[in-house]
Structure 1
């Protein structure tokens, strides 16, 4: 499974986008067994966020609707083939008075490619605070990415049409995307942020909206560990792939509406990187948090002293 790819509802289309609504609409083939498809034969491998989102849908289909997903933890085992369907096997681990736990194993051809544990909670009242605050220009005040960068860079940015063809997420950056500075050979702090939303309107139900963010949450995240090193994921000899991925959903929100996704690369070493993210609504309310560890390996011959 890979995160090497790095805007929605009202934006003009820029070529075909993956049909996210269909991607998240799994087919039930047996008790606690669901089938998902990519609807994309051009991609080299399944986008990691797709596996997370589909696995969450499979888990949620076995839980009463009143219970909301509040945390999910996944491990990417093998790259997935987008030209083949994925089977999601759900294990009903626990049904408690307040919490429900599900384990999901995603397989292709009998081989496990992804594992997910998801927890759901019945609604309840409790303490409320958040330690973090943020502010940024509204997404409507920001230019689309193509209009915010040097045309010469855009002409060479092969990653952009590839991303748009394979990931159904719109994005706008409040500041220069660090990848651009890195392409100029300049180091930047390990932080980046973008307004994000799914590129298509999704079904109203909370499970689909939660899965929409689970799908989105993998985008850009691990690359936030690269800016201090002045390299991009396009660097020859670079290997970047998600190893594990966690999402905490603090409250219901719509993944198909703009939210500010702030990301920070906390650590790199041993060929790996660790990144975290925080998702805020327009009022600065923290609605979700993420963490991801991934492979960040550069061929020894390319390492800079």
Structure 2
């Protein structure tokens, strides 16, 4: 999967009946299904059961079991409520009759109201000043650890350019923050709000736990720690498009008890806040 067209095809589920849908999986380098894919496919299913004039404003989800890349995933949507302004859906994802993921999503009709937003940091390097993951492999591939080179070399529909670049050969403790510019690859078609939300949800599960690792980067990394997404929440605000770079801005307020919490915001390059997110992940040191 190397471009936006292929990503859209992955997220567009097959309809089995009015409330049941089926999807396939594509690896991003791990042996199990990528959590962002399940999130986005579940949103695809939920959107197909709500009125056209209602749009996703929040989601809350739990990852219960690792997904099998070789099996289809079935998404069952329950209509929990259809009110005057809001519609609520519950989505259950399963493989072989085993539930692997649950989602609660709320949809709201467009309304006018008060407005304010937090500001994007103004002193960050711009994407043109930074190396993408592909650039890093091209420039440093000969000295990168094999596992990191392999991960960075996976074909993806998204380009990532980290602002704070870590040296894997000289690990150090850093602030619990992470800033990454991202942009879709290939031709970007016209998108409705539902598709934008699905794609942004897919991307939001990349890079999340990095901020939680940073304060202990000298001792711990993805190489010596068992990691997994435990839950994921998002809130959607303003409209946007994918024609320019966008910023993933994350911070980790806490790691404790083999879990790390990360929260943050997603901005357009101009600084418009389009979404916020939070995730707690398993961060269990591997005892060798």
* Change in 2 beyond 3 A, CA 1:262/1:40: closer
Alignment of 1:1-305 (within 5 A): 16=2, 19-40=6-27, 43-135=30-122, 136-147=124-135, 151=140, 155-156=144-145, 158-162=147-151, 164-165=153-154, 167-176=156-165, 180-181=166-167, 183-200=169-186, 201=188, 204-230=191-217, 231=219, 233-236=221-224, 238-255=225-242, 257-300=244-287
> What displacement does 1:30 show?
1.0
Two-structure CA RMSD over aligned residues (Å): 2.4
Take 1:148 and 1:184, find their aligned partners in 2: how far apart are those partners?
Answer: 16
Would you say the 8 A contact 2:178–2:210 is kept in 1? Answer: no
Take 1:118 and 1:36, find their aligned partners in 2: how far apart are those partners?
Answer: 19
* Change in 2 beyond 3 A, CA 1:195/1:184: same
> What displacement does 1:202 show?
5.4
> What displacement does 1:65 show?
1.8
> What displacement does 1:160 show?
4.4
Would you say the 8 A contact 1:53–1:212 is kept in 2? Answer: yes
* Change in 2 beyond 3 A, CA 1:76/1:250: same
Take 2:243 and 2:73, find their aligned partners in 1: how far apart are those partners?
Answer: 24
> What displacement does 1:280 show?
0.8
* Change in 2 beyond 3 A, CA 1:127/1:169: same
State TM-score, norm by structure 2: 0.89
Take 2:88 and 2:45, find their aligned partners in 1: how far apart are those partners?
Answer: 12
Number of aligned residue pairs: 283
* Change in 2 beyond 3 A, CA 1:72/1:168: same
Would you say the 8 A contact 1:99–1:121 is kept in 2? Answer: yes
Take 1:254 and 1:161, find their aligned partners in 2: how far apart are those partners?
Answer: 30
Would you say the 8 A contact 2:90–2:104 is kept in 1? Answer: yes
2:74 aligned counterpart, secondary structure:
strand
* Change in 2 beyond 3 A, CA 1:95/1:164: farther
> What displacement does 1:184 show?
1.2
Take 2:19 and 2:152, find their aligned partners in 1: how far apart are those partners?
Answer: 32
> RCO (CA 8 Å, sep 6+): is it higher in 1 or 2?
1
1:226 aligned counterpart, secondary structure:
helix
Which stretch of the first structure deviates more once superposed, 117-126 or 144-153? Answer: 144-153
2:66 aligned counterpart, secondary structure:
coil
Q: Which runs of 5+ in 2 are unaligned?
A: none
Take 1:38 and 1:203, find their aligned partners in 2: how far apart are those partners?
Answer: 24
* Change in 2 beyond 3 A, CA 1:120/1:160: farther
Which stretch of the first structure deviates more once superposed, 197-206 or 101-110? Answer: 197-206
